[in-house]
Amino acid sequence: MTKIAIVGFTGSRDQAPFEDGSFDIWGMNNLHVLPGMKGRRFTAWFETHKRELLEHKDNFGEHLRFLSNLSIPLIAMDASEWPEVPNVIQLPIDEIEKLGRFGSYQTSSPSWMVATAILAQPEEIHVYGIDFSSKNEYDEQRPALEAWLGFAQGLGIEVYVPPVCDLFKTVAQYGRGEMSAFRQDVKDEIKVQMSSRESTQNELANLRRDYKQKRDILDEDFDTKEKQLLKKLHQIEGRVLQCEHMLQNWTTREGEGGRESVEDLAETDGKPNRLVAVDA
């Protein structure tokens, strides 16, 4: 008989008995990308997702290279989807579904793995790095995993989860005692944070409203000033062109009262009374 350790993604994964040769160590999915997992001893790998669900992900190429280079068995939901992997093996779905009346009760990779481990009739099953503590995982995935681990224990297989693992933990025993002071403090803190969130959301909404109002005023003021400045700029550019024309074609401008200045010329809109041509 052997021992099987199933390794997942959360912090207790580092506690897995990688150096204990009496254990088969099973990894899963893209666990290989996490820090500290490269070079660890694994004896089998599981990929329980359909390939078509993985191919659109950015890291699929890296994942496929990892699976293709495995020297250990890859147990896949559909072995035919992984022709690049030389050691791919079909997940024993039919055999698992014959295990008791809830054999088809599968909601996660770890629950499939525990069921597969039961088929091997090991002495022990250990679970590391699997908590299912987030709301989605807790509601949808955790119950089936705990059911399969309980089923394993009922078959006489020793089941171990690290003390830091959230599996097999509850807020309180039903019918016994009140909620602990710590949990009450946590619930009170949630109320404080929810209230703070509401006030912050209101503050953010007010800020955005004020910004929009001020932006509308600024936009209107900007349009008016922009038109004024553009008009002035066009006048300046026209004056520059006029002066450049005079430099090219005129030497003096003589009027009845004597020589006029450039400023005087501007008052006559640049129209000379008499031109003195520039000597060639």
CATH assignment at residue 105: 3.90.1480.10
Domain that holds residue 146: 3-160
Does some domain include residue 167? no
Arithmetic mean of pLDDT, 70-90: 96
Phi, psi dihedral angles at 7 (to 5 degrees): -115, 130
- Stretch among 132-141, 230-239, 250-259 having the lowest mean pLDDT: 250-259
Considering 160, 194, 218, which residue would you say is the last residue of a domain? 160
- Stretch among 2-16, 147-161, 163-177, 178-192 having the lowest mean pLDDT: 178-192
Does some domain include residue 172? no
Q: For the full predicted model, state whether its pTM sits above 0.75.
A: no
- pLDDT for position 252: 57
- pLDDT for position 265: 53
What is the H or E stretch that residue 71 is in?
none
Does some domain include residue 198? yes
Residues 152 and 220 in one domain: no
Over residues 112-157, the pLDDT tens digits come to 999 999 999 999 999 999 998 887 776 789 999 999 999 999 999 9
In the structure, what pLDDT confidence band is assigned to residue 261 with cuts at 50, 70 and 90?
low
Considering 160, 194, 228, which residue would you say is the last residue of a domain? 160
Rg (CA), the chain: 39
Among residues 5, 102, 6, 101, which one has the least CA distance to residue 48?
6
Residues 7 and 145 in one domain: yes
